[in-house]
Amino acid sequence: MQEFERLIGAWHGEGDYNGDPPFHLAADATIERLGPFLVFRSDAAEPPELPSTVSIIGGAADGEPQPMGYFDSRGVRRRYLTSVEGSTWRIWYAPDYDWRGPDGPGFDQRFIGELSADGSTIEARWERKPPDAADWELDFPMRSVRMSAGNVFLFGGIPVRDFAAALPWYRRLFGGDPTFVATDTEAGWVLASQRSVYIEQVPERAGHAMHTILVPDLDAEVARISARGLEPARRETYGNGVRKITYRDADGNEFGLGELPG
């Protein structure tokens, strides 16, 4: 299992599924040791209806493909094999698993990921091969970025004058309904594991919030927000190459997206 050591940690992944209908995917994952095994957990942030998953990896001799038992919040169970060879991480169905069965997706499926030299990113893709197809085709790409370790939970608050009036604007900014609704005048969105933003009706403090998050692909994120009807209030590039896009709500609160150079 030594070849899997570079995967251990916390990851944030994003991708775009171009099926019918198309949608953006975002998920947070952790890979941790459990004695001789690895535990691979994933929780979807977008779209929220995607299942949470847990997989147990291990049981084969060192250097061989490892069994991977997959379980998710829908009650689905699947059996895979997985390997890491050099910088390439692969996942594919176990030979005795029937992907045509009740828990299968109805097509063959495999995962291929390339780990960067510094171990900070995984450029990956899920591929599918429908029944009777001769060739594999792209299911969806996924780019994952390693997150820093720690157990810090962040809740960023944004005070607004009128909750009902502000809510549609923030739906467009964050791409959907709130993940949680605390009260009639407070609701929040989970942006990533342990990282959330909430709006609350506090008229006397409205207009003074300033938040910025870093995203893997700034141009793609801005394009998605533009498609939802919002345009940036300000665009900046700092001397160190960091780019920042700022959005401003009707109260004057600012929410920024940034991207590191390189």
What would the pLDDT profile of 206-241 be if each residue is shown by its tens digit? 999 999 999 999 999 999 999 999 999 999 999 999
The beta strand positions in the chain, using DSSP E, are: 9-17, 23-34, 37-46, 53-57, 66-72, 77-85, 88-93, 108-115, 121-129, 137-147, 154-160, 180-183, 186-192, 195-201, 210-214, 234-237, 243-248, 254-259
pLDDT at residue number 23:
85
In this predicted model, what pLDDT tens digit does every residue of 154-184 receive, in sequence order?
A: 789 999 999 999 999 999 999 999 988 888 9
Domain with CATH 2.40.128.20 in the chain: 2-147
pLDDT of res. 120: 85
User: CB burial class (10 A; 0-12, 13-18, 19+) of residue 13?
Assistant: buried
Average pLDDT over residues 94-117: 91
CATH of 154-259, one of 3.30.1130.10, 3.30.450.20, 3.20.20.70, 3.10.180.10: 3.10.180.10
pLDDT the model gives residue 102: 85
Residue 204: alpha-carbon gap to chain centroid: 35
- Band (pLDDT 50/70/90 cuts) for residue 192 is confident
Residue 149: pLDDT band (50, 70, 90) is low
CA distance 261 to 243: 8
What is the structure's pLDDT at 14?
Answer: 87
Asked if residue 45 has pLDDT above 80, the reply is no
pLDDT digit string, tens, across residues 62-91: 889 999 999 999 999 999 999 999 999 999
The reply to whether the predicted model has a pTM over 0.75 is no
Domain with CATH 3.10.180.10 in the chain: 154-259
Checking if the pLDDT of 151 tops 50, the result is: no
136 pLDDT above the threshold of 80: yes
CATH top class, domain 2-147: mainly beta
Please give the distance of CA 242 from its chain centroid, rounded to a whole number. 22
